[in-house]
Amino acid sequence: MQTYDLFDIIGPRMVGPSSSHTAGAARLGRMANKIAGGHVKRAHITLFGSFATTGRGHGTDKAIVAGILGMEPDDERLRYSMLLAKEADVEISVDFSEEMRDHPNTAEIEIETRDGNITRICGASIGGGSILITEINGLEMELSGEYPALIVRHRDVPGVINTVTNILANEHVNVAFMRVFRHARRQDACMVIETDSPVSERVCRLILDWNENISGVLAV
């Protein structure tokens, strides 16, 4: 017998019209903002598949921009996000691509921050307001956004995973899910660790300072 939780029945808190094309899109934009580190100067959004063909009618582009500005899917200001971005001096550009991707509700988001850092995120809205981040700066991964998460960039060498998990254990941070992605053996890699509680900046600093093979730590 199949069971459902309350979220499956009533759906997410959101501004309509679509949980996938609007609420999920807003969550993609908000996650992109977190991964990029906020303080957005410029964002270029490319929509694919169903996002591209029905995005204008469902406000997908506006929803992603709202998320990039830090809004939740139920924020009543979502429909005015383009104007709000202009008022905040955030440059926005949107392309509607005919290219097909693995998932029909896919978006690529390139964010440039005020300090000049550029981050490229690819993700999909997979239904009911849920999302999946599938790529960050060319590195394939899976990040759901359902839990607090730690993204650790590192070299694929022995001992790094042990270092990170030991620090989390010592700091009483419980790991819910963990995946490791890499370009190739002994090359650049990334740990995505979803946790039961948010990871503090102090713990992020401990991880970054503990092992020379770790090049970046981000809590989202």
Query: What's the CATH code, domain 149-219?
Result: 3.30.70.260
Which pLDDT does position 19 carry in this prediction? 59
Element (H, E) at 164: helix 160-170
Q: What is the mean pLDDT of residues 67-90?
A: 95
Which pLDDT does position 6 carry in this prediction? 42
Tokens standing for 220? 């989202």
Residue predicted with more confidence, 8 or 77? 77
Q: What is the mean pLDDT of residues 82-96?
A: 97
Which pLDDT does position 18 carry in this prediction? 55
Q: What is the pLDDT of residues 111-156, one digit of tens each?
A: 999 999 999 999 999 988 899 999 999 888 899 999 999 999 999 9
- Residues recorded for the chain: 220
Whole-prediction pTM value? 0.83
End-to-end CA distance of the chain: 35
Looking at residue 168, its amino acid is L
Query: What's the CATH code, domain 6-143?
Result: 3.30.1330.90
Q: Can you tell me the distance from the alpha carbon of 160 to that of 166, in angstroms, rounded to the nearest whole number?
A: 10
Which pLDDT does position 172 carry in this prediction? 96
Q: Can you tell me the distance from the alpha carbon of 153 to that of 174, in angstroms, rounded to the nearest whole number?
A: 20
> Positive or negative, the Cα torsion across 67, 71, 74, 77?
negative
| Edge-first strand listing for the sheet containing 130-136 | 91-96, 40-48, 105-113, 118-127, 130-136, 139-143
* Confidence band of 2 (pLDDT split at 50, 70, 90): very low
| Edge-first strand listing for the sheet containing 149-155 | 175-182, 188-195, 149-155, 214-219
Question: Residue 12: pLDDT above 80?
Answer: no
Residue predicted with more confidence, 182 or 31? 31
Q: What is the mean pLDDT of residues 153-164?
A: 93
Residue with tokens 């981040």: 133
Which pLDDT does position 44 carry in this prediction? 98
Query: What are the start and end residues of each CATH 3.30.70.260 domain in the chain?
Result: 149-219
Helix residue spans in 1-47 (DSSP H): 6-10, 24-36
Query: What are the start and end residues of each CATH 3.30.1330.90 domain in the chain?
Result: 6-143
